[in-house]
Amino acid sequence: MQAEIVSNAQQLHSMADQLAQTQQQVASIDAAITAEETTLATLQAELAHASQTLRGIALNQYMQGTDDQELADFAGSPDQIAAAAAYQQLATVAESDAVAGYLQAQTAVQHQYVQLGAERAAASGAYASASSQYAALQAAAQSEQDELDNVRAEQAAMGPPQVVDLAILTGDGSLANDLYRLRMCESGGNYRDNTGNGYYGAYQFALSTWSNLGYSGLPSNAPPPEQDQAATTLVQRSGWGQWPTCSAMLGLD
């Protein structure tokens, strides 16, 4: 369990570095997008100014060769749109080139903007996925640490682990040795045993049996001497048959 916790800690450290890099990538793309937005806004403003200048030049050139009646006739003509396009071509070469250049630059910036948007979406997705994995691993590591702490607490409460003596397991007929063999069979000698099967402690007492013996609370919470005394009382009162499986295996009668 300790080795698994150490391994998880190393993975968490590696993932934290990965998260930082991904977050930095997202921030870098955001900065690039902001710069492209600024450039695009500038180009659009310059394009609007150049187009306005272009229309003004075309109108001035038209007005130089016409009178008010002709202008009124043009304003009401169905050919107004076509005529307006023709007047735009009358502008100076410099203004026309400016408009063309701004349009070309705007198209390039818009393409770059779309590409950066796709890159940011991918980076954000990677960051979200990595964050989710990091949180899951962090929760698993904390759960394992809590479990290890519980195991250590139980070990401390039980004292030093008992060593199985094969000679005692075969028995010499004394009650103490027989009880030892019994609890090793029932729970592995774990006085704190509580697996959720309805039986508790080293001797796997049912709560009804424990209560009938005059005890309260959970048998698994009782100190070892109290559980030993309860088992002794139960043997003397009702015999080894209270533990049918283990008593048969151990030859207790």
Please state which of the ranges 42-51, 60-69, 135-144, 182-191 shows the lowest mean pLDDT. Answer: 60-69
Domain ranges of the chain: 2-158, 166-250
- Between residues 54 and 226, the one the model is more confident about: 226
**pLDDT at residue 16 greater than cutoff 60:** yes
State the pLDDT at residue 222.
Answer: 93
Q: What is the pLDDT of residues 132-171, one digit of tens each?
A: 877 777 777 777 777 777 776 776 665 544 443 344 334 4
**pLDDT at residue 223 greater than cutoff 90:** yes
**pLDDT at residue 49 greater than cutoff 50:** yes
3-state helix, strand, coil in the chain (%, to 5): 80, 0, 20
- Report the top-level CATH class of 2-158: mainly alpha
Q: What is the pLDDT of residues 61-81, one digit of tens each?
A: 666 655 555 545 555 555 555
State the pLDDT at residue 96.
Answer: 59
State the pLDDT at residue 243.
Answer: 93
State the pLDDT at residue 94.
Answer: 53
Instruction: Identify the burial level of 3 via C-beta atoms within 10 angstroms of its C-beta, where 0-12 means exposed, 13-18 middle and 19 or more buried.
Output: exposed
In the structure, how many helices (H) and strands (E) does the chain have? 9, 2
**pLDDT at residue 55 greater than cutoff 70:** no
State the pLDDT at residue 36.
Answer: 80
Q: Which of the four pLDDT bands, split at 50, 70 and 90, describes residue 91?
A: very low
**pLDDT at residue 196 greater than cutoff 80:** yes
Determine the Cα–Cα distance for residues 101 and 4; give it in Å rounded to an integer.
63
Calculate mean pLDDT across residues 225-248.
Answer: 91
- Cβ(157)–Cβ(119) under 8 Å? no
Q: What is the pLDDT of residues 102-125, one digit of tens each?
A: 667 667 777 777 787 788 788 787
Cα dihedral value 144, 146, 150, 155, nearest 10: 60
State the pLDDT at residue 167.
Answer: 41
**pLDDT at residue 90 greater than cutoff 60:** no
Q: Would you identify the CATH topology of the domain 166-250?
A: Lysozyme (1.10.530)
